[in-house]
Amino acid sequence: MVIRPPSEAGSLLLPVTIGCSHNECTFCCTYIGVKFRIRPVDDIKRDIDQAAQNYSWSVRRVFLEEGDALICPQRRLVEVLKYLNKKFPYLERVGTYATPQSALIKSVDQLKELNRLGLKIAYLGVETGDEELLKKVKKGATYAQLVEAGRKLKEGGITLSVTVLLGLGGVEGSREHALRTARVLSDIDPDFAGALTLMLVPGTPLHKDWKEGRFSLISPFQSLEELKLMIENSNFTNCFFTANHASNYLPLKVRLPGQKAEVIEMIDRVLAKKDMSLLRPEFTRAL
């Protein structure tokens, strides 16, 4: 299974790590049973050589896989980035997923060094700004750590794209989740923010909680209420905000704060009608 951000669809996907260094989030099924490891540099270089044989002239973007390539020791990342620059003369951008933990162990100077070598964008999973919920879903980071990680990446000159997860607080925690997530997003003030919608996947601890009655899934319209609350209460400098992931019921892309009133009005119109035909059908989610 290959996981990458939608915006990296045209990128050369280069596995630098296998799995996720954290691998504990209760809602995540991506690397269940996968033992995390960092690939040897020689193996990575061999992959780069192979790709360069045919695509040296065409590669503009590279995405470092898998779950958390930023966790690699600085020396290895530097070596990989230098080699990418050598083999792909038209390289414009390298991207990576980052966990809060991996961003926090790097110094700002180290991030600046990676940025000079081409690491231009990092995708950080924030999920929620609700401190209790962060613990409950085993995100492995506190509110303050999420903010610090996000700000640090930006200070390192790296464009920051964060994701949050509608529905993560369940029905009972929905409002708190939305309001606190709006606050953490505002505190981080990323360049891009994406709201995905929770999908329960068999095999995850959260799915088990749901099956055994400890977690209640919000309805599609409740996910729109959350989205509206998040947007209404966020305070960005200039953020491209999307909810156009395949898991979302109402795809949208807006520039905030500029289009705040416009998008809230649009969500309100859908909420007023409560007409399921205005939403993505359940069977097409995540396809």
Shortest gap between Cβ of 30 and ligand SF4 (angstroms)?
Answer: 5
Q: Are the CB atoms for 230 and 178 separated by under 8 Å? A: yes
Interface map 239-268 toward ligand SF4 (x if CB under 6 A): ------------------------------
Shortest gap between Cβ of 150 and ligand SF4 (angstroms)?
Answer: 14
Paired residues of 197 in beta bridges: 166
State which residue, 30 or 235, has the beta carbon closest to ligand SF4.
30
Nearest to 173 by CA among 128, 210, 220: 128
Shortest gap between Cβ of 24 and ligand SF4 (angstroms)?
Answer: 6
H-helix or E-strand spanning residue 123: strand 119-127
State which residue, 11 or 102, has the beta carbon closest to ligand SF4.
102
- 163 is an interface residue for ligand SF4 by CB under 6 A: no
- 20 is an interface residue for ligand SF4 by CB under 6 A: yes
Task: Pick one of 16, 28, 59, 158: the residue that binds ligand SF4 (CB under 6 A).
Answer: 28
Interface map 106-145 toward ligand SF4 (x if CB under 6 A): -------------------x--------------------
Integer Cα distance of 116 and 3 in angstroms: 26
Shortest gap between Cβ of 159 and ligand SF4 (angstroms)?
Answer: 19
Task: Pick one of 4, 7, 18, 30: the residue that binds ligand SF4 (CB under 6 A).
Answer: 30
How do beta strands 239-242 and 37-38 pair?
unpaired
Shortest gap between Cβ of 25 and ligand SF4 (angstroms)?
Answer: 3
Nearest to 252 by CA among 275, 232, 279: 279
Report the b/e string of 252-263 with b at 16+ CB within 10 A.
Answer: bebebeebbeeb
* Residues 6 or more apart whose Cβ sits within 8 Å of residue 88: 12, 52, 55, 56, 59, 62
- 197 is an interface residue for ligand SF4 by CB under 6 A: no
- 206 is an interface residue for ligand SF4 by CB under 6 A: no
Q: Are the CB atoms for 196 and 149 separated by under 8 Å? A: no
Q: What residue ranges bind ligand SF4 (CB under 6 A)?
A: 20, 22-25, 28, 30-31, 67, 99, 125
